[in-house]
Amino acid sequence: MDWGMANRMARIINPNTGRTVMLALDHGYFLGPTHRIEEPRKTIEPLLPYADTIMLTRGVLRTSVDPKSATNVVLRVSGGVSVIGPALSDEGLTTSIKDAIRLNVAGIGISVFIGTEHERQTLLNLAELVNIGEEYGIPVLGITAVGKELEKRDARFLSLCCRICAELGTHIVKTYYCEDFEKVTTGCPAPIVIAGGPKLETEMDVLDMTYSALQHGAVGVDMGRNIWQNDHPVAMIRAIRSIVHEGLKPKQAHEFFKEIKEEQNKKVASG
Ligand code: 5RP
């Protein structure tokens, strides 16, 4: 692997632990002002110190993240559709490699919609992005999107999607956690991170999912709503971090979550 590519991969996946906490903030690219990220800067700023990498679009990066921050960025470069349009899967490339380099990104991210009418188009978009990424030493995050069809998220479907992304040269694959998750990770030679999906009922559900994904071969998370839609997003990202980088068990991480939440409540009460 060339130095630039290896260096950028190390900015995404921490070489000391081999793991990563990526913070996904790209939802507005097709959902508009999503609940609790209506004002991106307010959501992002308190979480920045605890994310190894943030994943977002160039518009939110330029307007809502301080360029002096030491944050690593994985830039979403696919889109062109909306949740009220005819087909979420009909994505194209939205951002040039020149602009990604100008933004000093650690990586570039793109969704593929396998099993849809736009499978070929989105897979060829991914393949082309890998060609460009290899040329400039920029890793590509391939995202196995399911659009509104959340029920698709099973091991059979996701292992097919992840393997295809890896075969096309994707450097990191982002997918969903599911039952029999080791089938997904063993069949995919590229490192896998999990999305969180829609907000789960309890914090323990999120911590259990994170722990189990790592136990079954994921290298980390690229999580959004289950962090910043929580009433205590800083406590949540720190608890997830404690599992990913320090190997805490879900119950220990939950205790840690409660401690941070208490600390923050006290700070608010004391003005
Ligand atoms: C959408 C995405 C999101 O970034 C991804 O789903 C992660 O966010 P969440 O944890 O909220 O699911 O890639 O296609």
Q: What pLDDT score was predicted for residue 237?
A: 98
> What are the beta bridge partners of residue 154?
none
Ligand 1: which of 82, 146, 222, 227 to mutate, judged by most atoms within 8 Å of the beta carbon?
222
Q: How far is the CA of 29 from the centre of ligand 1 (A)?
A: 11
pLDDT for residue 13 is more than 90: yes
Catalytic (active site) residue 42:
no
Question: Could you state, in order of their start, the residue ranges of all structural domains in the chain?
Answer: 3-13+20-226
Residue count of the chain: 271
Mean pLDDT, the chain, integer: 97
pLDDT for residue 116 is more than 80: yes
Contact 93, 110 (CB under 8 A): yes
pLDDT tens digits for range 135-182: 999 999 999 998 778 888 899 999 999 999 999 999 999 999 999 999
Q: What pLDDT score was predicted for residue 263?
A: 92
Alpha helices in the chain (DSSP H): 3-12, 28-31, 40-47, 58-64, 97-102, 119-136, 155-167, 181-186, 203-215, 225-228, 233-246, 250-269
Instruction: Copy the structure tokens of residue 236.
Output: 């949540």
Q: What is the CA radius of gyration of the chain?
A: 18
Nearest CA to ligand 1 atom 5: 195
- Residue 55's region, left for phi above 0, alpha for psi from -120 to 50, else beta, is beta
Side-chain half-sphere exposure of 86, counting CA atoms within 13 A: 3
DSSP conformational letter for 106: S
pLDDT tens digits for range 225-268: 999 999 999 999 999 999 999 999 999 999 999 999 999 888 88
CATH code for the part of the protein at 3-13+20-226? 3.20.20.70
Rounded alpha-carbon distances, angstroms, from residue 20 to 82, 115, 246 = 29, 29, 11
Nearest CA to ligand 1 atom 8: 224
pLDDT for residue 69 is more than 80: yes
Nearest CA to ligand 1 atom 12: 197
Q: Which residues contact 193 (CB under 8 A, 6 or more apart)?
A: 20, 22, 141, 172, 173, 174, 175, 218, 219, 220, 221, 222
Q: Which of 67-71, 106-110, 128-132 is least confident? A: 67-71
Phi, psi of 176, deg, nearest 5: -100, 155
Q: What pLDDT score was predicted for residue 131?
A: 98
Q: How far is the CA of 98 from the centre of ligand 1 (A)?
A: 25
Ligand 1 closest atom vs CA 197:
12
CA atoms of 85 and 87, how far apart (whole Å):
6
Ligand 1 closest atom vs CA 199:
11
Nearest CA to ligand 1 atom 1: 27
Task: Give me the catalytic one of 68, 148, 174, 199.
Answer: 174
Q: Which residues contact 170 (CB under 8 A, 6 or more apart)?
A: 126, 130, 140, 141, 142, 190
Q: What pLDDT score was predicted for residue 122?
A: 98
Q: What pLDDT score was predicted for residue 150?
A: 81
Q: How far is the CA of 133 from the centre of ligand 1 (A)?
A: 22
CA atoms of 167 and 80, how far apart (whole Å):
25
Residues with CB under 6 A from ligand 1: 24, 26-27, 111, 143, 145, 195-197, 222-226
CA atoms of 183 and 156, how far apart (whole Å):
8
pLDDT for residue 215 is more than 80: yes
Ligand 1: which of 143, 170, 209 to mutate, judged by most atoms within 8 Å of the beta carbon?
143
pLDDT for residue 271 is more than 80: no
Average pLDDT over residues 25-44: 98
